[in-house]
Copies of this chain bind each other. A is one copy, B any other.
Amino acid sequence: MRVGRARGAGEVAGRTPPRRSVSPMSAPKQRERLVVIGGDAAGMSAASQARRMRTPDELEIVAFERGGFTSFSACGIPYWVGGTVDGLEDLVARSPEEHRARGIDVRMRTEVTALDLTGHRVRSHDLDSGTVTWTGYDRLVIATGARPIRPPLPGIDAPGVHGVQTLDDGQALLDTLRKTTGRRAVVVGAGYIGLEMAEAMLHRGYEVTVVNSAVAPMSTLDPDMGRLVHDAMTAMGIRVVNDAEVTKILTGEDGRARAVATDDAEYPADIVVLGIGVRPETTLARAAGLPIGDHGGLLTDLSMRVRGYEDIWAGGDCVEVLDLVAGRERHIALGTHANKHGQIIGANVGGGYATFPGVVGTAVSKICDLEIARTGLREKDARASGRQYVTATVESTSRAGYYPDAGRMTVKMLAERRTGRLLGVQIIGREGAAKRVDVAAVALATGLSVEQMVNLDLGYAPPFSPVWDPVLVAARKAARAVQAG
């Protein structure tokens, strides 16, 4: 992998130190350079953590970001679009200037367009000046994130059709909202982003239709739980169309989107929001021959090193992660994982040691006052993994039943047959429902059985829980199902 070394031209050639062995446990005296591709959660967490561990004299850090922002919360975009969060600046955790003040050389609006692994260098393209530069690296972090799925449908690029992946996307959508007089919004997709955008459009006063290809919203849930989401959305005044494949975006004479068409019907739209999900952005990595998994993400070891490469790390939305319950890799685009990856990469790059053990598939979301949470396996995941399982579904409340604002919730639990090991939990309910999934997340990570869960010492007081926490009620019912066979 490290045969020879051709340093790039331009700015960096002069300051690149000669090649030497990279040993994370002993800090070399000569200055090394870390190059980070991608200036969001994973990349800048890695850079920041490496900076905490190594002085600028020891480690130069150069970070390339093709967009106009660093360290922003993509997860916050729906709340900004919906008006729950005031401004774009609220979503930026740390600006390029703040990073620079901490000794990280951030190059904004500069896209990395090629990796030269043999030459240990990356080619970047300054999007404003057009300048192309090669920059050498001793260590490389790939944090190129994900790109929204944008099916090649007729009309998909028409004005009035918006994704919500970047802050620029969010700003463009808000600009369109300001100009749009009609009040009909069609959201394509009924996953987390679809639901959050449906809420945002409701908040903005739109009539909202959600067009969904699955049998029920939130296909990360079992369909029986998804149907509860469907019913709640309908009660909020949202039209939910399931089992519907979008075939094209119809445009008007002005070229703007005017409707979303499926095989069966047309849904008039003054604005169309795509919330179909994302795929790992690994164009560069593929071109360079780095290992890519079944779900399109980079493959790393537990220290977040790209498999087979001593000096390249990758994290965030562009990698696959080990699902500890399913026992296989998955792609999960989630800011919390990206931040953890970044910290782990930074620690390892900086000469420390840290690993990311994997995930159990926890996710929480909400649409208006309905909270949605899941972790672990759905029924179809359990079947796919060859496991036999029992299920238990219970109704309970977030507080003691007699306490004001006790919110109803439904908890569904899957446990392995015979062993009783917890396999998954799904929760749908009102305030106080979603974060209860964390108990199941820890139980999954530690391999608890539902029988063991029954007596977990969870916090109880009337404002916080019934005397049996809903998760424990579900565990009790699941344990009985395990006992019964």
Residues of A that sit less than 8 Å from B by CB: 41, 73, 75-76, 79, 84-85, 90-91, 192, 334-337, 339-340, 343, 356-357, 359-366, 371, 373, 375, 400, 402-404, 432, 434-439, 441-446, 448, 452, 454-465, 467-469, 476
Contact = CB atoms under 8 A, between A and B. Distances in A.
A67 to B, nearest CB: 18
28 contacts: A41-B467, A73-B400, A73-B402, A75-B400, A75-B462, A75-B467, A79-B462, A84-B404, A85-B404, A91-B402, A336-B458, A336-B469, A339-B468, A340-B454, A343-B476, A357-B452, A359-B457, A362-B458, A362-B460, A363-B461, A364-B459, A373-B459, A435-B435, A435-B459, A436-B438, A438-B458, A442-B456, A445-B457
Given A79-B403, A364-B461, A467 B73 contact: yes
Interface centre among A360, A365, A375, A467 (most CB of B within 10 A): A467
Interface centre among A85, A343, A443, A446 (most CB of B within 10 A): A446
A85 B336 CA distance: 38
Interface of A is mostly: mixed
Given A362-B457, A446-B446, A459-B435, A76 B402 contact: yes
A462 B336 CA distance: 10
Given A91-B402, A462-B79, A467-B73, A456 B441 contact: yes
B84 A362 contact: no
Contacts of A434: 459, 461, 464
Nearest to A441: B457
Contacts of A340: 454-455
Contacts of A371: 464
Closest 3 CB pairs of A and B: A364-B459, A336-B460, A90-B402
A432 B75 CA distance: 19
Contacts of A85: 402-404, 462
Contact of A441 (B441, B445, B459): B459
B356 A455 contact: yes
Contacts of A366: 461, 463-464
A420 to B, nearest CB: 13
A205 to B, nearest CB: 19
A379 B85 CA distance: 40
Contacts of A446: 442, 446, 448
A363 B446 CA distance: 22
A76 B461 CA distance: 8
A16 to B, nearest CB: 33
Contact of A439 (B363, B375, B439, B468): B439
A359 to B, nearest CB: 5
A357 B41 CA distance: 41
Contact of A400 (B76, B443, B452): B76
A321 to B, nearest CB: 9
Contacts of A361: 457
A73 B466 CA distance: 10
